[in-house]
Chains A and B, each alone.
Chain A
Amino acid sequence: MSISMTRKCIALATFAITALGLWAYVTTIQTGGANVFEWIGAVLFGILFGWIAFSFAVATIGFLNLWNNPPTVRELPEDPETNAQLPSCAILVPVYNESPEDVFARVEAMYRDLVRLDAQDSFEFYVLSDSTDHEKWLAEQWVWSTVMQRLGSKAKIYYRHRSENIGRKAGNIADFCTRWSGNHQYMVILDADSLMAGETLVEMVRRINADPKLGILQVPPIPIGRQSIFARLQQFSAHAYGNVFVRGFSRWAGDQGNYWGHNAIIRIDAFRDHCDLPVLPGVAPLGGAILSHDFVEAALMVAANWKVKLADDLGGSYEECPTTLADYAQRDLRWCQGNLQHSRLIISDGFRLPSRLHFASGVMSYVSSPLWIAFTLACIAGWLFDGTASDLTWVQGYGQFALFAAAMMMLLVPKAYGYAITAKYQSESQRCKRNLAASVLVEVLLSILISPIMAILHTRFVIATLRGKKIQWNAQQRGEHGVSIIDATRQGIGFTLIGAALTIAIYYANPPLLIWFSPIIVGLLLSIPMIMLLGSQAVGNYLGRWGMLLIPEEIASPPLSENFKKAYEANQQAMAGQSGRLFRRVLDDPSFFTIHCRVLKASDADRPLSSEQRTQTQELAEGNVENIPVSERAQVLSDTELLQQLHVHTQMMSQSA
């Protein structure tokens, strides 16, 4: 089916389902006369039902397409001669106060994979650090120098540190484009937790090189490598159901697709010419500098007649996901403001319709929660003020039940699509199919229990954003750390109280409704134990041993993951005993001092302090360099001349001591 036909089908299906649902809804509320709350509810219902219908239509298209065309990852040709002749491609790894052991282990794993394919000469890694924590910064330099010692000086793995974190990640990439992009034709953008197979990187370069109008090629990343139940839920969902949505999305978006900020290759010239982020009119939260850059960059590229495509047939593209509900919420809070800002761009001039739809999807992924809550409240208010009526038709009597069933069906059927596709193509034995079915059931059950918590969280985020609360873009908490009972209580007590209040209110108002509200109420009442359970690595591993919520990458670990583990262990060894001592080490250890000065010089990040500040620092350091306050160390580390003086002073002190 052509892109145009697919779009028409989806639009028609969405319109038909929404119109039918709206007709049934309006018919039911007119029983006994419709009041203002019911009309408000009808408008909200139309928006929400339309949104679900659209997702359902996309998933159905994806399912039908996958049923006929298996989601097999293409076997890529291994041709060392061709690999060595690829055009130059930069691989950018922007980092911001991340774990250096993790970041450089991933870089090393990818580099080794490229060496295996003899394609390493075409790729140059740039670790672009925006770290503001001076210990993280120094740790990055330390681990980088250790990695380079392991890989040898031929490895093109560069390290740059920006003295000011202007423009966050987008600013970091723009800085690269301004200074070093002239050396390369393409750039692969990664996140700190991204991992890509050598074959995938090579194929991405081949594809973009073969199509002169291709601006961005996005390879959908799959979450891997985590053990907590919450992480396993996300990994399993992406693996089992992700294909259906991704294929459906790819079918209707065509050459006007989207970019998710990482695991994508970009044509540098096109990016430099069109993707400078505009400043939105007005002030934060909805105006000012754009926080979430990826959708906007894709839309700008499409507006300039460049293709933005999704390579849904390519595998070997991985990322990591948050392991606890709190970490997930923290990430969502940041994304929420970024996505809400896009609402202004939906109605801005110059963008194509598919790009406007991508913006709207991003906005709806957060706004739908408060809309659902508002719809529920409008329904309750509508019932309270509604009159009674006799002689009801079937639609009037059972219409709302049918609509509820239809909405649930449209939410659950895509999961059944995912199960059917995975069972058809990836589960060979009966045991695998049984495990898959059990995993789907566990995932559906837990998703239902989590959804009211997520709805409340998203509502809070949207309200906080619209009230202008400043969102801190802190580094993500990526490690497995579990949730203590104190933290779980702190995070979940509010949900429990809401659940208790809702139970009491419904019990007194209309006890039979408790059955209908039970999925919401149970999830809220059990929020504290559930937060603990979801963050538990031990329970996640226990489920894994039973074959539940497993993904193929866990059953047969790819070589890339093995390389990552080895490099990570080596980095941990290199960092052993260094934590908290690296500032002293810059001054004590001439080799590390030299590395630091070279990084400053190469990054153009030398920021001399004033003579007063220098004198003060020298006086403080006279007795012991540890006397320099932690808050000032990043500044001291950015002043090469002062460092030279302190270094020499420390050297002489160590000799005379």
Chain B
Amino acid sequence: MIVDPQTSASTETPEHPYTSATAPRDSEVQSATDNALMAVAGYLRLCGIQHPDVLRDQSHRILAMAIERGDEARTNETLVSDALSVAIEEMQRIHDQVAFHSIGCQGVIDRDVVNQRCVLALSQVMKDPVLLRDGESQQDRSRAYGQRHAVTVLPKRNDRPMRHNGTPQLMPVLRPQWWVTMVNRRFEQLALTLQAIVSPSRPSGESPTISE
């Protein structure tokens, strides 16, 4: 559906009976299509799609669909409808604006701000119902939009993890192991007492173990 300009040029035949009549119109259409492609690609880029292959494919796909839609309603002669050409013009204007602002701010301008400006202008083009409310001037709309978009969604992250707590154990008296330990200790003490009785000469300051 979308024709490459060079390929298109090579397929044109001067002998064709309608050539003289159609040539200027074809080139007009071709130029409009190129403009549309560039505009769409530019907008996609501002939307965050940067990869050249994806940009090319998506631009072609979108424009093809737009034209298909147009074709359903109109004849091939009106390939680029009035609405689409207006949109393209506006998109180009936006690009100019964005470029101007970028240069004007000497490259300091934040990419988000560029995006926002682009989207602001686009909103106006696309008849954003919020921004185009009756009784609101252009200045009001711009201010409203600016306020809505100048806010910080969230501050910068400052990661500090929570310290993990393990599964709490039962109270010591409710644990069988605790009773085992207690009983062992009792036996140990009993053994020591018996040992003290059997060999009373051992000095009391020492702390003998059962293995001794």
Which residues of A line the B interface, CB within 8 A?
124, 126, 145-146, 148-149, 152-153, 155-160, 174, 177-183, 272-281, 300, 345, 347-351, 588-595, 597-599, 601-604, 622, 640-641, 644-645, 647-649, 651-657
Contacts and interface: CB of A to CB of B under 8 A. Distances in A.
Contacts of B150: 153
Contacts, number: 171
A648 B122 contact: no
A152 B131 CA distance: 17
Which 7 pairs show the lowest CB-CB distances between chains A and B? A182-B158, A602-B153, A348-B168, A656-B66, A602-B154, A153-B150, A655-B87
16 contacts: A146-B148, A153-B150, A177-B162, A178-B159, A179-B157, A274-B163, A278-B167, A348-B169, A348-B170, A590-B128, A591-B131, A594-B115, A602-B153, A644-B44, A645-B58, A652-B65
Nearest to A644: B47
Interface string B25-58: 0000000000000001001100111000000001
A591 B167 contact: no
Interface string B107-148: 000001001100110110010111100000000000011011
Contacts of B44: 644, 648
Interface of B: 40, 43-44, 47-49, 58, 62-63, 65-67, 69-70, 81, 83-84, 87, 112, 115-116, 119-120, 122-123, 126, 128-131, 144-145, 147-172, 174
Name which of A589, A590, A649 has the most chain B CB atoms within 10 A of its CB: A590
Contacts of B84: 655-656
Contact of B167 (A157, A279, A300): A279
Given A153-B150, A349-B169, 20 more contacts: A149-B144, A157-B151, A160-B153, A177-B162, A180-B157, A183-B155, A183-B156, A272-B160, A272-B163, A275-B165, A276-B162, A278-B168, A280-B167, A348-B171, A349-B171, A589-B129, A589-B130, A590-B128, A591-B131, A648-B44
B126 A654 contact: yes
Given A300-B165, A347-B171, A595-B149, A656 B154 contact: no
A272 B162 contact: yes
A649 B59 CA distance: 10
Given A178-B162, A348-B170, A653-B65, A591 B153 contact: no
Contacts of A347: 170-171, 174
A591 B148 contact: yes
Contact of B69 (A124, A178, A588, A653): A653
A301 to B, nearest CB: 12
Contact of A158 (B81, B155, B164, B174): B155
B158 A656 contact: no
